[in-house]
């Protein structure tokens, strides 16, 4: 959290734009056969294929989407790739390339940009995607990162948000709420640190949820798993804003309703214990906390046997006809209407 005064600081202006681009991208290697030409010309060149192409972009702005006082730049680089790969996997596709554009103020030394790109490179290597280009410019204040991911999907495999049908089961991968709670812990520690910089935080009890916030993993394994199980989801979306708002996207685009069962929502034990400590409702956190990057999808009830025992997947409810609305069935067996509050609703 502390800025190390002894750390080397090479000013970006010493290198110039081209020197910087060359410096930060020279360690990247290309692995995808579809990448014909990566960085270094006016445009990258990709080989066309029989499959359909997926393209998705996210823009992350300092002070809006991340806070560098607790987000190390390496993690930021990694996460900015993850949020895009997650969108490709949510279409039931595979990711092959990314571009990365950055705007940085001269408050950042070269070493900071190296850290950012170390995270981007780790993400590229771990997920097998090629960095094929981008743009670099200056900003008057702060840092801004835009990543575009390019992927592929067989025409018959693509899954939209709009295909859910009455009686379909609603399934989530992994567990929910951790990333939001990790952020709460980090923000609390930041405030403690501001009051007393000598206070070293003990974060052992929060390791899982902090990792969920700082180093999320996109669920590359889920489209593959579904293929192995012989299941094609009827609709799918990634959970960036909380279960509630994502299921509402599926319902509105599919013109259906839903029932989510509170007691079925998958929660890590650390989420439960931290919710108790912070005195927040864990269901609320799962429904409205953001940034878990799990996948939410619907499958035909005929596929239940194929998914039921899988440790990565949890059935949390089912689709209904639209007129029944979108509801949460509580542990007390009461039905309450779901609201797409997003995680700002938790900030009261
Ligand atoms: P142009 O003037 O044609 O926009 P640039 O000088 O901006 O070209 O970029 C030169 C090469 O470096 C291009 O291949 C571009 O895609 C790549 N590039 C520029 N900035 C970045 C970046 N931040 N990350 C990755 N590649 C980059
Ligand atoms: Mg350019």
Nearest to 186 by CA among 278, 265, 113: 278
Does 120 sit in the ligand 1 pocket, CB within 6 Å? no
Decide: 254 and 235 in contact? Cβ < 8 Å.
yes
> According to the model, what pLDDT value does residue 333 have?
96
Pick from 21, 46, 81 the residue to mutate for probing ligand 1's pocket: most ligand atoms within 8 Å of its CB.
21
CA 42 – ligand 2 centroid, Å:
8
CA 133 – ligand 1 centroid, Å:
5
Decide: 105 and 143 in contact? Cβ < 8 Å.
yes
**What distance in Å separates the CA atoms of residue 16 and residue 216, rounded to the nearest whole number?**
33
Measured CA angle at 69 (ends 64, 72), to 5 deg: 95
For residue 67 the two structure tokens come to: 């806070």
**What distance in Å separates the CA atoms of residue 295 and residue 55, rounded to the nearest whole number?**
18
For residue 327 the two structure tokens come to: 């509801």
**What distance in Å separates the CA atoms of residue 53 and residue 50, rounded to the nearest whole number?**
9
> According to the model, what pLDDT value does residue 202 have?
79
Atom 8 of ligand 1: nearest residue by CA position: 42
Does 257 sit in the ligand 1 pocket, CB within 6 Å? no
> According to the model, what pLDDT value does residue 204 have?
87
Atom 19 of ligand 1: nearest residue by CA position: 135
> According to the model, what pLDDT value does residue 2 have?
44
- pLDDT tens digit sequence for 171-195: 999 999 999 999 999 999 988 888 8
Decide: 209 and 179 in contact? Cβ < 8 Å.
yes
> According to the model, what pLDDT value does residue 1 have?
42
Nearest bound ligand to CA 134? 1
Which residues crowd ion ligand 2, with CB under 5 Å? Answer: 135
CA 16 – ligand 2 centroid, Å:
13
CA 128 to chain centre: 17
Q: What is the DSSP letter of 48?
A: -
CA 264 – ligand 2 centroid, Å:
48
> According to the model, what pLDDT value does residue 200 have?
76
Domains of the chain plus CATH, in order, are 12-153 (3.30.1330.10), 169-346 (3.90.650.10)
Does 25 sit in the ligand 1 pocket, CB within 6 Å? yes
Q: What is the mean pLDDT of each run of 10 residues along the chain (348 residues)?
A: 62 88 94 97 96 98 93 97 98 98 94 97 98 96 97 98 98 98 94 81 90 97 97 98 96 98 98 97 95 98 96 98 97 90 51
Q: At a CB cut-off of 8 Å and minimum separation 6, what does 78 contact? A: 119, 120, 122, 123, 215
Nearest to 186 by CA among 164, 170, 209, 168: 209
Give the containing element (helix H, strand E) for 170: strand 169-173
337: left (phi over 0), alpha (psi -120 to 50) or beta: beta
Q: At a CB cut-off of 8 Å and minimum separation 6, what does 347 contact? A: none
Decide: 239 and 294 in contact? Cβ < 8 Å.
yes
Pick from 108, 115, 133 the residue to mutate for probing ligand 1's pocket: most ligand atoms within 8 Å of its CB.
133
Does 23 sit in the ligand 1 pocket, CB within 6 Å? no
pTM, entire model: 0.94
- pLDDT tens digit sequence for 317-337: 999 999 999 999 999 999 999
- Gap between the terminal Cα atoms of the chain: 26
CA 136 – ligand 2 centroid, Å:
6
**What distance in Å separates the CA atoms of residue 298 and residue 317, rounded to the nearest whole number?**
9
């Amino acid at each position: 959290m502390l800025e190390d005064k002894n750390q080397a600081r090479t000013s970006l202006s010493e290198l110039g734009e081209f020197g910087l681009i060359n410096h930060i991208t020279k360690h990247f290697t290309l692995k995808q056969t579809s990448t014909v030409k990566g960085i270094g010309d006016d445009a990258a060149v990709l080989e066309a294929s029989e499959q359909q192409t997926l393209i998705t972009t996210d823009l992350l702005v300092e002070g809006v989407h991340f806070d560098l006082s607790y987000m190390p730049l390496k993690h930021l680089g990694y996460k900015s790739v993850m949020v895009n790969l997650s969108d490709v996997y949510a279409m039931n596709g595979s990711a092959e390339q990314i571009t990365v554009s950055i705007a940085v103020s001269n408050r950042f030394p070269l070493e900071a940009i190296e850290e950012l790109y170390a995270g981007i490179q780790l993400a590229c290597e771990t997920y097998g995607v090629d960095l094929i280009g981008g743009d670099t410019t200056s900003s008057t204040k702060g840092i801004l990162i835009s990543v575009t991911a390019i992927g592929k999907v067989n025409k018959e495999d693509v899954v939209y948000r709009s295909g859910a049908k009455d009686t379909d089961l609603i399934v989530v991968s992994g567990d929910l709420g951790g990333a939001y709670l990790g952020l709460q812990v980090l923000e609390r520690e930041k405030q403690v640190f501001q009051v007393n910089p000598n206070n070293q935080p003990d974060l052992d009890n929060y390791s899982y949820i902090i990792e969920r916030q700082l180093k999320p993993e996109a669920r590359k394994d889920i489209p593959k798993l579904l293929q192995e199980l012989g299941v094609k989801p009827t609709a799918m979306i990634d959970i960036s804003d909380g279960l509630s708002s994502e299921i509402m996207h599926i319902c509105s685009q599919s013109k259906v309703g839903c029932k989510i069962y509170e007691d079925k929502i998958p929660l890590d034990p650390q989420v439960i214990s931290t919710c108790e400590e912070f005195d927040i409702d864990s269901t609320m956190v799962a429904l409205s906390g953001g940034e878990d990057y799990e996948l939410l999808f619907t499958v035909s009830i005929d596929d239940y046997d194929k998914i039921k025992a899988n440790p990565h997947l949890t059935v949390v409810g089912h689709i209904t006809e639209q007129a029944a609305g979108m509801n949460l069935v509580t542990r007390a067996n009461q039905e309450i209407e779901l609201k797409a509050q997003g995680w700002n609703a938790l900030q009261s």
